[in-house]
Amino acid sequence: MQEKIIIAAALTGSMASPQRVNPAVPVTPEEIAREALAAHAAGAAIVHIHVRDPETGLPSMELGLYEEVVWRIRESGSDVLINLTTGPGARYRPDDVDPMKASADSTMASSEKRVEHIIKLKPDICSLDVATMSFPQYAFVNLPKQLEEMAALIQEAGVKPELEVFDLGHAWLARSMVERGIIKGKPLFQLCMGVPWAAPGTPENMIAMRNTLPAGAVWAGFGISANEFPMVAQAAILGGHVRVGLEDNLYIAKGQLASGNAQLVERAVQIVEALGSKVATPAEARDILQLRSAD
């Protein structure tokens, strides 16, 4: 186990309408920023951020929404590390009549579009989903060529890519990107467990994925839904860092909705400390991840 374990909070995610189930899921930039600060106060060193249309609550790629969230967090004076998503722009569903065409609800976008907010806002970290996989209603498409283009643009902006892998083959592809020099410096991996239809959230699967990573890599892990807290314990025991949040799980216990991201972070802190480790501060997380100094 790590002496100091980083906790990340994934605040809102990109699912269509989770706030219909749990109204604590933040929607507006003000709500997302407020959740970020609350999660940090509870023990999170990193906040992982998607944005939503304030009117509809649906996931968005609008640059102005990212700008407002990041501005609000930075204006507060918080030292929490900001991790922006680059996942939106990879959703594909074939048209029902002509499968050679994308359906109207597909969101495929160019590499440049998917990272425009990264280049402008320069967060500490951003996700890079090394994954092409099936979701129940669509395919999530990230081809190696586009991943390499995005990785280059991200790193040119001075931002650290977090390599999100959902299955063993994704971990293999991400490792090859490190070995071929596409990912520079000390790599950071996120093992995403229990997402349909990728690797189930089991100890055996997390161990296999961890063992596929290059030597010396920093990694974290999380599980969705009922897998969330078991995977916190599993990642910590196996030498990784952890993630929780309303993006991944809406409940604090079976049948009991979480009151917010802070409550989920507090439970992760309890697990980490019960296992004998300490929770990393943002400054300690910056050192562990070998990030540039805070401005």
Per-residue pLDDT of the chain (295 residues; tens, 9 = 90+): 899 999 999 999 999 889 999 999 999 999 999 999 999 999 999 999 999 999 999 999 999 999 999 999 999 999 999 999 999 999 999 999 999 999 999 999 999 999 999 999 999 999 999 999 998 889 999 999 999 999 999 999 999 999 999 999 999 999 999 999 999 999 999 999 999 999 999 999 999 999 999 998 999 999 999 999 999 999 999 999 999 999 999 999 999 999 999 999 999 999 999 999 999 999 999 999 999 766 5
Query: Among candidates 82, 73, 188, 79, which has minimal Cα distance to 125?
Result: 82
The domain of 191 spans 4-288
Q: What is the pLDDT of residue 295?
A: 55
Strand blocks (E) in 141-200: 160-165, 188-193
Burial (CB count <10 Å: 0-12, 13-18, 19+), residue 181? exposed
Phi, psi for 235 (deg, rounded to 5): -60, -45
The count of other CB atoms within 10 Å of the CB of residue 55 is 9
Q: What is the CATH number of the domain that holds 250?
A: 3.20.20.70
Q: What is the pLDDT of residue 294?
A: 60
The count of other CB atoms within 10 Å of the CB of residue 126 is 26
Query: Among candidates 173, 175, 243, 171, which has minimal Cα distance to 207?
Result: 171
Q: What is the pLDDT of residue 265?
A: 98
Q: What is the pLDDT of residue 271?
A: 98
Q: Could you tell me the two tokens for 93?
A: 């569903």
Structurally, the chain folds into a number of domains equal to 1
Q: What is the pLDDT of residues 202-223, one digit of tens each?
A: 999 999 999 999 998 999 999 9
In a domain, 294, yes or no: no
Contact between residue 190 and residue 222 where contact means Cβ atoms under 8 Å apart: yes
In a domain, 176, yes or no: yes
Three-class SS of residue 273? helix
Contact between residue 25 and residue 19 where contact means Cβ atoms under 8 Å apart: yes
Q: What is the pTM of this model?
A: 0.96
In a domain, 293, yes or no: no
In a domain, 295, yes or no: no
Three-class SS of residue 165? strand
Contacts of 145 (CB under 8 A, 6+ apart): none
Whether the CA torsion 13, 16, 22, 28 is positive or negative: it is positive
In a domain, 42, yes or no: yes
Q: What is the pLDDT of residue 85?
A: 98
Q: What is the pLDDT of residues 142-189, one digit of tens each?
A: 999 999 999 999 999 999 999 999 999 999 999 999 999 999 999 999
